[in-house]
Structure 1
């Protein structure tokens, strides 16, 4: 038995066994159970198959609103949270940057903040009263008070600002780790050839940041479609005006938990999983991850 445990052939399987078990128990099985449940009507103490009925009922106005809101949120977070952290990381990685360590810490601290706390604070900052911070800021320029969380455009703006405040720091860390692995010799050779700062960034930095950029885009797409707590805290619940803050996960929560319709909620979850995977496959194909490098 001892010889078996210390075998060089068995040891690798022993080391990966905890990951395999956790993957099967906490991911593979729940996904399988959710897919099965999406074809069922789940009642207290009993379940029975109803075929595609849940998926047929899925296509309604609230589902379209949730899908549109999640897609808009994902799009705008990609537009902001890819180029902005990349540019900030380039500045922070520069040799002429003073107080680099301070700014790195300051930009990363919001990532450690609880989303519940952050959502509550942002709800007060973007409140509807005259005394709200952002309304007082508007008053400085002669604009009137508005209810930020009552409109679709302004509500989405608050969500994106909250996401930028919380997640820009972690994306900066990703880009900084990649930038520090780029050899200085490449920039020195480019400088000898007469390249300016923009040409160095475009010809050296951007191409070498491609793997990390693809990773950040991938997790940002997942994070965008999986967003729920931010919306829940900003609107103090899962029922925003005209569903302007309803997300795909929020719709899943409303149908699966609040109304105790687990079968229909499972159909929403499976659709969300398929949608997220499809979007990520498209962007991975677009950025050439599936192509062989020449």
Structure 2
């Protein structure tokens, strides 16, 4: 009876999907549901109390939370401006016929992604130290500049964070775009070349439109990655307390409230708001990019 049930063609697909569904419910749906419930509660060790939307009201007047949100949004926008067009262009260069040693370049660009973010953050913290002997201050000293307190300045601290992000994720996005370039028929470029189109015209009329699915994917995961950034900032400032909160992100603020201050109800409200912000931004950009419209047209 059991064997007949397991080998039933109508039931078998559901049996194969069941492990994923169980993992999804236990480790994704259930925590989200619990977080929503906790965001309406005041949670103390051993007890919880329903307080309605008080945690969300508290967020509105929280200046530190506002700064964390602005820091995360600014970081996300900056990484999008750097980590989409630059990897796309570099991928086109690496993929070109005149490129020599492309496998070496792909390996070199991807290597930072294999480095532990803990190690990378520590190295960057030392390299961008405020001492005159630190790597970056020694470098700018060659051009006559005075030492800079990189991680104590709003501007230079943000620049350091962006350099770390570009160093770490540039190669990953290059590989995404290289995979997208492999799917573009070579005949399109040959036809355009016969018609007299130069390299820029071919890039604008063929490469960019054909790479749109890859670009949308990279844009979507980059938005999530930017808003969810935490470990890089934590390691760069050797903790979650950067000067004047210049490196504080939404996740960093959630960690501060939930783990450091043990205010899980308030931290849950921060988490729910983060998920909402990320979802709304991604839905808007998918709508603008025509992803939903394309799906509707197939239907």
Settle same-fold status: TM greater than 0.5.
Answer: yes
Shift of 1:157: 0.5
How many Å apart are 1:9 and its aligned residue?
1.3
The equivalent of 1:18 in structure 2 is: 19
Deviations 1:191-238 (A, max 9, x none): 111111111111111001001100100000000010000000011100
Greater CA drift, 143-152 or 281-290: 281-290
TM-score, structure 2 normalization: 0.97
Following superposition, the deviation at residue 58 of structure 1 comes to 1.1
Q: Which residue number corresponds to residue 282 of structure 1?
A: 284
Structure 1 residue 70 displacement after superposition: 0.3
Q: Does 2:50 match 1:43? A: no
1:220-239 equivalences under 5 Å are 220-239=222-241
- Equivalents in 2 of 1:13, 1:175: separation in Å? 35
Count how many residue pairs are aligned between Structure 1 and Structure 2.
Answer: 294
Deviation at 1:10, TM superposition (A): 1.5
CA–CA distance in 1 between the matches of 2:67 and 2:190? 52
Q: Which residue of structure 1 lines up, in the alignment, with residue 204 of structure 2?
A: 202
Aligned counterparts of 1:102 and 1:35: Cα–Cα separation in 2: 48
Structure 1 stretches (4+) deviating beyond 4 angstroms?
Answer: none
Number of the residue aligned with 2:30: 29
Q: Deviations over 1:121-147 (max 9, x none)?
A: 000111100011111111111110010
- Which residue number in structure 1 is paired with residue 265 of structure 2? 263
Distance 1:18 1:195 in 2: 52
Q: Root-mean-square deviation (CA), in Å?
A: 1.0
Whole-angstrom CA distance in 1 between matches of 2:205 and 2:248: 42
SS in 1 for 2:48: strand
Q: So what's the TM-score if we normalise by structure 1?
A: 0.98
Specify the alignment match of 1:91 in structure 2. 93
Question: For 1:23 and 1:57, how far apart are their aligned partners in 2?
Answer: 32
Looking at structure 1, the residues matched to 92 and 11 of structure 2 have their Cα atoms a distance apart, in angstroms, of 45
Distance in 2 (CA, whole Å) between partners of 1:120 and 1:207 is 40
Q: Distance in 1 between matches of 2:94 and 2:6?
A: 49
Unaligned runs of 5+ in 1: none
